[in-house]
Structure 1
């Protein structure tokens, strides 16, 4: 359930994949350098209301106090940001958690490289400490401080809280391909209860967790780190955050890499349908590979035949779930679908997916349940990270909902089924969640141009499941200084996934400032 528009690097979905897409920061181990630039003056924010610069000065005058995180090699701090940028002097603030690993040397330091792993709702602090801060190319880590932050509403930064663990367990098992009126009503009730819990537990922050809010926070962070320009690597949803920043603050753009790009001009309905098609493309690649393997549980034949067998298996689980090892969470269609989708983020997980499917078809659903749990960031003790809560809060604020009610889903179902016979119905119904959100959206789909910004590298993967390649083409075309770098391959995002061509082009850009030629393919 709720698998649509959850956009993050595959390394944050399946730890075993080890995808290392990272970000770095500024300053030495001691106090940060003085803020490099002042608050934005009125009129600098493209198509966004500009906050009062004078009221923002106290925020830009903060000092980051670094402390030991408890994770070797990393330091942590917090900064304050106004809850409402339209009223920054109100005294209502949010606290933003920040982490860094200072440059290891040798070579001249280049300042900070900030990273966002996607989501929305992915923890930048957790991602930096578990992956990026230790796995980024050594040459980049030598010359940049590596920095990330939990965006507002996420994990350590005034988090959005909705359902508790047991309630989330039930929520993730609700049938997302309703067959009759009773099942439709059950799904609608689940969405309403989820939204109501978010409002009850987090009503203060819900109106203020948009991507534009997070982009303004990122400029505040840039200044407190002591950098004149923002150097940034954003993956998946992080590309929308980076592009939004560039459009708001084009004169403060340094070296920006937007990997696994989103198209900010696509409305919610089209984004969800495009993503459905993207997962179908990824499944087709998996199916072709699976049919060649001796342990393929879906048999031989073309991808359509393999897909039909998977759909038939989902149908059987819908009627009769199988044991997963957890008596309260048998493997039904909803959890099984999420488990399969999780594995499609990275082709390195295909063997794991074959094994999990084979076991489930023989009555043991524990493998697919484990994949689903990795996607939802559910711990073994039954606690969930706030990923799904923050994801809904940001998505539902950034744009008008894809659907206003079940009747609208019915109208769109044929197009979703055409986009993916296997995943289309479930992803269509999952996109109904924002239809019951308690806060009206503050953003809308629109092109982002970032007029006057330095060259921005947009990276697209041809068979990316979560951010279809055409989105990267679109974003590179919208940005006045966008340059498109293409990876002909499978999986979600491209940097740090084994292509020397991609990694070399991005490393040269980050280290020397030389952007790859527009249209370069690897």
Structure 2
């Protein structure tokens, strides 16, 4: 539900922190539900906050606030419990997700079955937020910059090192080591307790699939029904996952190429998919040499193409951009970030909060390579494997210079726990490729069943009209019934 985003981890669970420490210090006072912040306010949605420890190893130390929203079931007789949601990122604000799901047409049977809960994760939005004090031009994208060679990697290393230093010296630097997926899962369990629920059901998309997998690994007896859509690997948003963006781009490109070729009279990008592919490389090479007057260089062109692959409805707009760049016609100025120094938004959320909180999670969750030359080698390797976009995901990020080491080992996703997870995955997802979902499926073993949908783009349930996939998900959320084996849904 966020604009192009995507998601980190892998080894052994730290037992002392992951067992039941959440319940020992729970606040028994009932939650006080109030009107939501202006940008969250929607009919029937109310908000509250829950206090949690900043550091679960020091539960009596500093506390932070976790913002929570609720769209309550209007049918008490059919209410099963709560459905906790996460909109991805990491860094995605989720207070708005209950209302957004209603607006998208989530079936009434689902809304009757649950109080739908949105939680801004720690460090994000209306929860205690983090900032790196960045101008949005300092770090304009959550996707690494496409590197044309070793010199580009070296230049990017200097830029992202400066970004990491700003995070280390920001006004919220004391929060930095504690913004992790594992701690977010612990916060979720504190929210569960505050809601008075013995278990939660869960619906997470994109990075939220990893968060849900971590939660149900750490608190397997506290989960009821778990639905994850557009699935990361079991390591989340780690260095190996980011390198899969090249694979995802390559898998998704044929959908656009077929669309553009069928509309060649309108766009002039090629009469066949092969000709459209050749046009991609021609435009990229031209812009690498001479950017357009509007500011498109080859790197931005590749990034904009990747971003538009998220949703089929964006493909016509992408074709128009290509047409303009190919013919020298005016195109909209690319959105490369606005000026303004990490200033607070009207709601007191730092302007850089989305990207700052995302970096905190990704860089804290797992150990990233620090050798710049290693990234240069990865770029060359992935340019050969995935020539269209591989040299982006393999490039260096601020995590190579992150000021703190991971505070604990990554949570290892395993098959231990109840068999109560449903996965949904598009076959040609550019952001969370099918191979990532298959890795998660293998890690979860008999805990999960996976539904694949023969369609492209990122996110499936409600976002696309595959009746087979949508019906399976709705049935699972409402009744708990799940396919006995993995299912492949055909294209509509």
Which TM-score applies when normalising by structure 2? Answer: 0.86
- Alpha-carbon shift at residue 301 of structure 1 (Å): 3.3
Q: Is the 8 A contact 1:456 1:481 kept in 2?
A: yes
Relative to 1, partners in 2 of residues 1:145 and 1:366: Cα closer, same or farther, differing over 3 Å?
A: farther
Which range moves more in the overlay, 330-339 or 154-163? 330-339
SS of match in other structure, 1:177: coil
- Alpha-carbon shift at residue 272 of structure 1 (Å): 2.2
Q: How does 1:290-305 map to 2 (within 5 A)?
A: 290-294=260-264, 295-303=266-274, 305=275
- Alpha-carbon shift at residue 397 of structure 1 (Å): 1.0
- Alpha-carbon shift at residue 473 of structure 1 (Å): 2.2
Match among 428, 439, 447 for residue 463 of structure 1 = 428
Relative to 1, partners in 2 of residues 1:168 and 1:125: Cα closer, same or farther, differing over 3 Å?
A: farther
- Alpha-carbon shift at residue 46 of structure 1 (Å): 4.7
Q: How does 1:130-209 map to 2 (within 5 A)?
A: 131-135=100-104, 136-165=106-135, 167-168=137-138, 176-177=146-147, 179=149, 181=151, 183-201=152-170, 202-209=172-179
Q: 2:2 maps to which residue?
A: 12
SS of match in other structure, 2:174: coil
- Is 1:414 the counterpart of 2:384 in the alignment? no
Q: Is the 8 A contact 2:23 2:190 kept in 1?
A: no
Q: Deviations over 1:292-336 (max 9, x none)?
A: 213335323344x43342233223323332233xxxxx2233333
- Distance in structure 1 (CA, Å) of the matches to 2:386 and 2:333: 20
- Is 1:219 the counterpart of 2:219 in the alignment? no
Which range moves more in the overlay, 293-302 or 381-390? 381-390
Q: 2:202 maps to which residue?
A: 232
Q: How does 1:215-364 map to 2 (within 5 A)?
A: 215-265=185-235, 268-294=238-264, 295-303=266-274, 305-324=275-294, 330-363=295-328
Match among 70, 80, 83 for residue 113 of structure 1 = 83
Q: Is the 8 A contact 1:357 1:368 kept in 2?
A: no
- Alpha-carbon shift at residue 171 of structure 1 (Å): 8.0
- Distance in structure 2 (CA, Å) of the matches to 1:341 and 1:210: 27
Report how many aligned residue pairs link the two structures.
Answer: 466
- Distance in structure 1 (CA, Å) of the matches to 2:153 and 2:231: 33
Relative to 1, partners in 2 of residues 1:301 and 1:171: Cα closer, same or farther, differing over 3 Å?
A: closer
- Distance in structure 1 (CA, Å) of the matches to 2:140 and 2:307: 19
Q: Is the 8 A contact 2:135 2:352 kept in 1?
A: no
Q: Is the 8 A contact 2:149 2:379 kept in 1?
A: no
- Distance in structure 1 (CA, Å) of the matches to 2:290 and 2:302: 15
SS of match in other structure, 2:240: helix
- Alpha-carbon shift at residue 264 of structure 1 (Å): 1.3
Match among 492, 498, 502 for residue 465 of structure 2 = 498
Q: Is the 8 A contact 2:137 2:337 kept in 1?
A: no
Q: How does 1:50-69 map to 2 (within 5 A)?
A: 50=17, 57-69=24-36
CA RMSD in angstroms, aligned pairs only: 3.0
- Alpha-carbon shift at residue 350 of structure 1 (Å): 0.7
- Distance in structure 1 (CA, Å) of the matches to 2:22 and 2:470: 42
Q: Is the 8 A contact 1:250 1:450 kept in 2?
A: no
Q: Is the 8 A contact 1:356 1:365 kept in 2?
A: no
Which range moves more in the overlay, 232-241 or 160-169? 160-169
Q: 2:414 maps to which residue?
A: 449
- Distance in structure 2 (CA, Å) of the matches to 1:499 and 1:293: 24
Q: Deviations over 1:334-382 (max 9, x none)?
A: 3332221111111221111111222333446654725x669xxx99x99
- Is 1:84 the counterpart of 2:55 in the alignment? yes
Relative to 1, partners in 2 of residues 1:190 and 1:511: Cα closer, same or farther, differing over 3 Å?
A: same
- Alpha-carbon shift at residue 179 of structure 1 (Å): 4.8
Higher relative contact order (CA 8 A, sep 6+): 2
- Alpha-carbon shift at residue 53 of structure 1 (Å): 6.0
Q: Deviations over 1:201-240 (max 9, x none)?
A: 1311110111100111111111212221110111111111
Q: Deviations over 1:164-206 (max 9, x none)?
A: 335437789996425564x544322210111111111131111
Match among 93, 107, 128 for residue 63 of structure 2 = 93
- Alpha-carbon shift at residue 266 of structure 1 (Å): 7.6
Q: Is the 8 A contact 1:171 1:190 kept in 2?
A: no
Q: Is the 8 A contact 2:14 2:411 kept in 1?
A: no
- Distance in structure 1 (CA, Å) of the matches to 2:245 and 2:30: 41
- Distance in structure 2 (CA, Å) of the matches to 1:204 and 1:169: 21
Q: 1:478 maps to which residue?
A: 443
Q: Is the 8 A contact 2:207 2:236 kept in 1?
A: no
